[in-house]
């Protein structure tokens, strides 16, 4: 067992690296925190789809694909998380698409894990799934369970396994639930000893294993081995990581710019503005979001889970005096359109007789993607009479000054908002402009 002192020194190096997944994913966690709710909701959709017979017989197009898409967009650390779930028809794996008994076993497993917070119950369900010996369905499922129970179930992939073996001088292999559960015990024990240096959330320790496993974080017993690895490959990986980090920072800057436009317009239209709680520390063009927006949502009789979800919506416009939410905006630069829709839907479902306007704000190039997601039957039914509209970045930027100058209330946004065909009036893209839904 690695001594606590060397492990804490390793953790200090891990945390001090500005490009480690600890800094780019774990603590820079606006999108990470949003993902927990999205993935939990997606897992419920998987369970419901299996129970109702609508799950399908392929990964593509299934609700499971949506869950894994939300996981794989969580920076480099979850790259490849979807691969074990792709339907491989020649091998008939993983055997949860054509085999109805296995499909229902998998659905029952997910339902049981959703319904409990007791670690022993979760481990019992894992053992039951392992005993079922479903062909091709292995411990990659732990990546889903992590987002349901982040303090009990560590995520799992090849890089993390390699890091584990290097750190603990072990020889665990992929594909075995037994090996995964043995790894988990060691990880929990080590994390408990250094929890004050990391987090109760096991994503932080798994990120450490990832960095060791990719060769970016040499440790005592592999420092000498690092030069023997394919140097060019390691350098290429480091360069790719650096480029990815720069791109993420550029996207963050663009996300902040669009939030600032929405804050500016909301204030110009004489609304109070709430910005996502994890973004209040941000500033744009020298203007602090904390000084431009209200510190928190007004009291509402919402379940805690719903309130936390609504507090993470990128921008909300509130009616002065009453605090009524009249406009909600999710800015989706490159992340999942689906997760943004879910947060807006949660808001709409939580407000009796909701009359607020719901907007996805995204780059012009994502218009077809937005419309495809809005066309999903589940959303068209659940939000019937309260459509979510799309505002392109370009249009918002171009018309911001005019909207601030000539707009009287939130209905001004209908001039640039687009929704699915079926409204009134066409725009050049063949979509429709919303009319008459907004009000002061």
Flag whether 426 is in a domain: yes
Q: What percent of the chain has pLDDT over 70?
A: 83
Mean pLDDT: which of 129-143, 306-320, 380-394 is highest? 129-143
Last-in-domain residue among 213, 230, 257: 213
Q: Look at residue 411 in the predicted model and tell me its pLDDT.
A: 93
Q: Is the pLDDT of residue 436 over 50?
A: no
Residue 106 structure tokens: 């998998």
383 and 260 together in one domain: yes
pLDDT band per the 50, 70, 90 thresholds, residue 14 = very high
Residue 233 placed within a domain: no
Name the least confident of 66-80, 129-143, 264-278, 393-407: 66-80
Q: Say if CB 25 and CB 207 are below 8 A apart.
A: yes
Please tell me the predicted confidence (pLDDT) of residue 223. Answer: 42
Domain shared by 200 and 287, yes or no: no
- Among 8-12, 160-164, 250-254, 255-259, whose mean pLDDT is lowest? 250-254
Whether residue 202 is found in the same domain as residue 261? no
For position 338, what pLDDT does the model report?
A: 74
Q: How many domains does the chain have?
A: 2
Helix (H, G, I), strand (E, B) or coil at 286: coil
Q: Can you tell me the distance from the alpha carbon of 56 to that of 64, in angstroms, rounded to the nearest whole number?
A: 10
Rounded to whole angstroms, the Cα distance separating 271 from 291 reads 15
192, 92: one domain: yes
pLDDT level of residue 265 (50, 70, 90 thresholds): very high
Same domain for 321 and 187? no
From 213, 234, 261, give the residue that closes a domain. 213
**138 exposed, middle or buried (CB, 10 Å; 0-12, 13-18, 19+)?**
buried
**Residue 271 pLDDT > 70, yes or no?**
yes
Same domain, 69 and 115: yes
Average pLDDT estimate for 18-29: 84
Residues 206 and 253 in one domain: no
Same domain, 114 and 203: yes
Which letter does DSSP use for residue 83 in this model? Answer: G
Rounded (10°) angle between helices 203-213 and 158-168: 80
β-strands 315-318, 287-288: how paired?
unpaired
Highest mean pLDDT among 93-102, 236-245, 307-316, 367-376: 93-102
Give kind and range of the element (H or E) at residue 109.
Answer: helix 100-114
Same domain assignment for residues 68 and 177: yes
Cα–Cα distance between 161 and 392 in angstroms, integer? 42
Residue 87 lies in a domain: yes
Q: Are residues 209 and 304 in the same domain?
A: no
Q: Which of 42, 1, 58 is nearest to 143 (CA)?
A: 42
pLDDT exceeds cutoff 70 at 243: no
**Final residue of a structural domain among 195, 213, 231:** 213
Is 236 a member of any domain? no
Cα–Cα distance between 379 and 359 in angstroms, integer? Answer: 14
Q: What is the pLDDT of residues 114-153, one digit of tens each?
A: 999 999 999 999 999 999 999 999 999 999 999 999 999 9
Give the pLDDT mean for 292-313. Answer: 85
- 160 within a domain of the structure (yes/no): yes
Domain of residue 297 covers 249-433
* Distance from the Cα of residue 10 to its chain's centroid: 28
CA distance 352 to 331: 24
Does residue 167 belong to any structural domain of this protein?
A: yes
Q: Using one digit for the tens of pLDDT, what is the confidence trace for 96-109? A: 999 999 999 999 99
- Whether 52 shows a pLDDT value over 70: the answer reads yes
The reply to whether 229 falls in a domain is: no
Least confident stretch, 151-165, 219-233, 306-320, 353-367: 219-233
| Same domain? 254 vs 303 | yes
> Does 205 share its domain with 288?
no
Element (H, E) at 300: none
What count of Cα atoms within 13 Å lies in the side-chain half-sphere of residue 409? 12
**Bridge partners for 361 per DSSP:** 331, 391
The runs of H, that is alpha helices, within 194-336 are 203-213, 231-268, 289-292, 304-311
Is residue 379 a part of any domain in this protein? yes
CB 393 within 8 A of CB 404: no
Whose CA is closest to 113, among 103, 128, 102? Answer: 128
């Amino acid at each position: 067992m690695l001594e606590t002192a060397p492990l804490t020194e390793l953790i200090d190096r891990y945390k001090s690296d500005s490009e480690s997944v600890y800094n780019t994913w774990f603590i820079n966690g606006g999108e990470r925190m949003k993902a927990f709710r999205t993935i939990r909701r997606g897992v419920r959709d998987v369970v419901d789809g299996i129970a109702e017979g609508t799950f399908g017989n392929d990964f593509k197009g299934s609700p499971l694909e949506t869950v894994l898409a939300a996981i794989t967009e969580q920076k480099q650390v979850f790259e490849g998380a979807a691969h074990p779930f792709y339907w491989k028809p020649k091998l008939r794996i993983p055997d949860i698409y054509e085999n109805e008994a296995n499909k229902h076993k998998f659905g029952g497993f997910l339902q049981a894990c959703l319904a409990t917070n007791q670690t022993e119950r979760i481990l019992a369900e894992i053992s039951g799934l392992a005993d079922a010996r479903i062909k091709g369905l292995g411990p990659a499922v732990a990546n889903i369970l992590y987002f349901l129970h982040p303090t009990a179930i560590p995520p799992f992939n090849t890089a993390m396994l390699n890091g584990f073996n290097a750190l603990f001088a072990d020889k665990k292999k992929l594909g075995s639930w037994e090996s995964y559960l043995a790894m988990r015990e060691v990880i929990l024990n080590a994390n408990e000893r250094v929890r004050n240096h990391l987090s109760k959330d096991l994503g932080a320790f798994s990120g450490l294993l990832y960095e060791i496993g990719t060769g970016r974080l040499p440790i005592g017993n592999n420092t000498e081995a690092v030069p023997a690895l394919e140097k060019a490959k390691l350098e290429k990986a480091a360069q790719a990581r650096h480029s990815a980090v720069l791109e993420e920072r550029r996207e963050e800057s663009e996300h902040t710019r669009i939030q600032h436009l929405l804050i500016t317009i909301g204030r110009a239209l004489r609304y109070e503005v709430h910005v996502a709680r994890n973004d209040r520390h941000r500033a744009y063009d020298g203007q602090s979001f904390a000084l431009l927006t209200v510190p928190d949502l007004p009291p509402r009789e919402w379940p805690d889970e719903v309130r936390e979800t609504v507090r993470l919506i990128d921008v909300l416009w509130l009616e002065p005096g009453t605090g009524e939410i009249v406009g909600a905006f999710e800015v989706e630069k490159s992340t999942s359109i689906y997760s943004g829709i879910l947060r807006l839907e949660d808001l709409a479902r939580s407000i009796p007789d909701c009359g607020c306007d719901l907007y996805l704000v995204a780059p012009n190039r994502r218009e077809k993607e937005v419309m495809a997601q809005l066309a999903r039957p589940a959303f068209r039914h659940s939000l019937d009479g309260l459509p979510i509209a799309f505002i392109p970045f370009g249009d918002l930027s171009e018309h911001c000054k005019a909207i601030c100058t000539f707009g009287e209330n939130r209905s001004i946004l209908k001039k640039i908002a687009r929704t699915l065909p079926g409204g009134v009036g066409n725009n050049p893209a063949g979509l429709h402009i919303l009319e008459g839904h907004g009000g002061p």
